[in-house]
Amino acid sequence: MLDRVRRGSDFEAACEQAFAELPDADRRLAHELAAGILRQSGALDQRLGPLVSGGWATVAPPLKDVLRLGAYQLTVLDRIPPHAAVSTSVTLAKELRGARASGFVNAVLRRLPLDERMPSPSMAPAEFATAYAHPPWLVERWVGRFGPEATRRLLEWNNHKPRLVLQPARRDLAEIRTQLDARNIECTAAPFEAGLSVEAGRPRELPGYDTGDFHIQDPAQALVLQFIDPRPDDLVFDACAAPGGKAIALGRVTRSVIAAEIQRDRLRRLLENVQRAGSGRERPILADAARPPVRPVDLAVLDAPCLATGTMARHPDARTRVSTRALERLTEIQRKLLTRVAGAVRPGGLLVYATCSLEPEENEQQVDRFLSEHTEFVRESSGSVPAVLLSPAGDLTILPHVHGMDGSYAARLRRDAA
């Protein structure tokens, strides 16, 4: 399963396929182990490598993952006894490669030191990248932009297990909290009061899921909706709507939301979420955001496809797909979509451009270029979010290592009334 993800398969889809037959508790553990190995593979490899007499490069790839599995359980998880972690890995190695491999895995894991040394900010970017299992080119640009210490905090954030955050759908947060309290499910306010945070698990097991009381969305995305600050009479075009969190949130407070998605599988997910937790004012359609199938609207929201470097904690497979070529390709797609979606905004209407990226080329530079080419639009800020989340230009700018949630960016672009 991990090998399929590294070759480009979606992590959640791969988990669903691989773990479908497991009992709920085992499925949750398997998901955590798979995500943990992807997040922590660099640090795990650094600790395992010196224990292999021939060097880490000589270990067969399947056995590397077996060793990472055991090492992750031994050094990160505290609920699995060490003997059980070693035994499971030894058994798996025997099934994959025979008795000799199982003896090798047993010997390595039993020599693994359980104390952990924090990587130093004085490390070179390449060492950072290895220690935290991130692409070297990306770490190097982050060090240049944020500095070594802030980059270390960002990498640590990306390697931690995020909590599940509930957002209001058919009930408000106070009612959702009451339901959770009644079941003795611990919850806390998410950063900036943007949702309710619970221990990550299966949302379907929470009270109120089946009745659509809540939907799942990171606080950063909820704050994008606050930043948009829609009006009750707005006709909204949600240009890239899947999986549906924006459409559901907008549907709670506006007249109507046309929620477009170009990919059929993602449209199915959008439909499922809207049917479960929507207000009835959302209208999912199969459509290309580059050819908006709508008359001029009051509000258009473009949550553009991006490198997703702000969501690497929540999506551990994202780091396997980023590249400079992907960044160049995505910035061109964003430029095209931004221009096309802008054409769907009525005079005096609002266009909101958003990403879950940390990269300037996809964020403020993209907006600056758009404004230089489309003088009928002007940038405006919003007083509906805390000022600490706003850039000097007035754009929403959320950084994981600073604000304690996914990274996110949004800009409000107002069209001239004339």
Q: Residue 260 above 80 pLDDT?
A: yes
CA distance 332 to 62: 38
Question: Mapped to the 3 state alphabet, what secondary structure does 133-175 carry?
Answer: CCCHHHHHHHHHHHCHHHHHHHHHHHCCCCCEEEEECCCCHHH
Residue intervals in the chain for CATH 1.10.940.10: 2-110
- Average the pLDDT over each of 14-18, 258-262, 299-303 and give the range with the smallest value: 14-18
Output the six-digit token pair for 23.
């009992």
Catalytic residue among 187, 240, 306, 356: 356
Active site residue 15: no
Tokens of 338: 């931004």
| Whether the bond into 296 is cis, omega within 30 of 0 | no
Structure tokens at 291: 């050819």
**CA separation for the pair 312, 407 (Å, rounded):** 9
Q: Mean pLDDT throughout 96-100? A: 89
Q: What would be the CATH architecture of the domain defined by 219-415?
A: 3-Layer(aba) Sandwich (3.40)
| HSE value, Cβ hemisphere, 13 Å, CA-based, for 150 | 12
pLDDT tens track for 66-78: 999 999 998 888 7
- Residue intervals in the chain for CATH 3.40.50.150: 219-415
Please give the average per-residue pLDDT across 249-270, as a whole number: 96
Which pLDDT score, from 0 to 100, does residue 185 have?
A: 92
pLDDT higher than threshold 90 for residue 316: no
The stretch 3-16 carries a mean pLDDT of: 82
Q: Which pLDDT score is estimated for 416?
A: 97
- The fold of 164-216 is Alpha-Beta Plaits (3.30.70)
Residue 354, pLDDT above cutoff 60 = yes
* pLDDT for residue 117 is more than 60: no
Give the mean pLDDT of 280-286: 97
Range(s) within the chain of domains with CATH label 3.30.70: 164-216
pLDDT 10s digits, 120-159: 666 778 888 888 889 999 999 999 999 999 999 999 999 9
Kindly state the average pLDDT of the residues 92-113.
90
Pick the CATH number of 2-110 from 1.10.940.10, 3.90.800.10, 3.30.1450.10, 3.30.470.20: 1.10.940.10
Mean pLDDT of 388-412: 98
